[in-house]
Structure 1
Amino acid sequence: MTNARVELFVGFFLVVGFLALGWLALQLGEVPWLTGAKTYLLHAEFNNISGVKPGADVQIAGVTVGKVRQLHLNEDRQAVVTMQIDREVVVPVDSIASVKSQGIIGDKYIQITLGGDETAYKPGEAIVDTESAVDLESLISKFAFGEVKK
């Protein structure tokens, strides 16, 4: 092979590689105007989300249907969890969002218990009924120091 052919060959594979890398980045980044949105956002307000982190699972009946995208405090000093839910999952307005734990000391996640209402949450709305995390450390502390009353 001549130098010109080798350079052409290498250049062709570099261009194909960059195109493949760009396509993969767009697919993983989920650019809505290019790929069509596969998810939507829902919010939920909790008194305590101890241990929930961005990237934590959102589950329905033990099946992962989304991820926690953002955590912040609102003006009422409640924790607001922004969840990215798969587009095909419909969440009725009487559903309950709970903070759960994988085992005793496992990772925290959001469990959505679906209701039976025919009306569903629209993207960007907030789940009204929530159950906060149980603070196991404070319960053990109260029990150990005799603050638990029967």
Structure 2
Amino acid sequence: MKKEHLEILVGVFVLIGILSLGYLSFRLGKIDMFKTGYYTVYAEFDKVGGIKKGSVVEIAGVPVGSVEKVTLNNKYQAVVELKILSSIKLPDDSIASIRTKGLIGEKYVQITPGGSEQYIAQNGKIRETESSVDIEEVLSKYVFGKI
């Protein structure tokens, strides 16, 4: 009787440990299984210069979402699908910019909220965008005197 009770207790302890490890794996890996608490907006850029799925979306340096997908439209522009926290309401005159962390760091999308009282709805579009700056292009223009 005592041995069976001990085995059951150890089994429950091991099960709790496995469930805890699974939960931590999802949380630390930033995996959102149910995709709740977000809405989708789109932005069109002439150049995205290294933005890819999983890139961070920030407002005032605070992460508020991520890039879900980057595709090409029929006007040869990059369409970036952004997943934004539903607690963040973006005014419809917001500006989306491609930025780099540091000189050669990773690329991210920075959103500068506007002052409008109208907000971008689910599957809406950010109208104002600023494409990424290509450092090599700027340097070559400088070297060859075109700046």
Same fold (TM over 0.5): yes
Instruction: After TM superposition, give the deviation of residue 121 of structure 1 in Å.
Output: 0.5
Residue of structure 2 in register with 1:87 after alignment:
86
1:31 aligns with 2:30: no
Instruction: After TM superposition, give the deviation of residue 28 of structure 1 in Å.
Output: 4.6
After superposition, residues 67-78 of structure 1 pair within 5 angstroms as 67-78=66-77
Contiguous gaps of at least 5 residues in structure 1 = none
Q: For 1:29, what is the secondary structure of its paired residue?
A: coil
Equivalent-residue separation in structure 2 for 1:19 and 1:142 (angstroms) = 57
Equivalent-residue separation in structure 1 for 2:21 and 2:123 (angstroms) = 31
Identity of aligned residues (%): 42
Instruction: After TM superposition, give the deviation of residue 7 of structure 1 in Å.
Output: 2.6
Equivalent-residue separation in structure 2 for 1:10 and 1:124 (angstroms) = 50
Q: For 1:4, what is the secondary structure of its paired residue?
A: helix
Residue of structure 2 in register with 1:108 after alignment:
107
TM-score w.r.t. length of structure 2: 0.82
- Of 20-29 and 119-128, deviating more is 20-29
Instruction: After TM superposition, give the deviation of residue 20 of structure 1 in Å.
Output: 4.1
Instruction: Flag the 1:40–1:21 CA change in 2: closer, same or farther, 3 A.
Output: farther
Equivalent-residue separation in structure 2 for 1:70 and 1:45 (angstroms) = 12
Q: Residues 58-95 of structure 1, C-alpha deviation per residue, up to 9 Å, x if partnerless?
A: 11122221112221212322111111111111101111
Equivalent-residue separation in structure 1 for 2:69 and 2:47 (angstroms) = 15
Instruction: After TM superposition, give the deviation of residue 2 of structure 1 in Å.
Output: 4.7
Equivalent-residue separation in structure 1 for 2:60 and 2:98 (angstroms) = 14
Residue of structure 1 in register with 2:15 after alignment:
15
Residue of structure 1 in register with 2:63 after alignment:
64
Number of residue pairs the alignment of both structures matches: 144
Contiguous gaps of at least 5 residues in structure 2 = none
Q: RMSD of the TM alignment (CA)?
A: 2.5
- The amino acid that maps onto 1:135 is D
Residue of structure 2 in register with 1:45 after alignment:
44
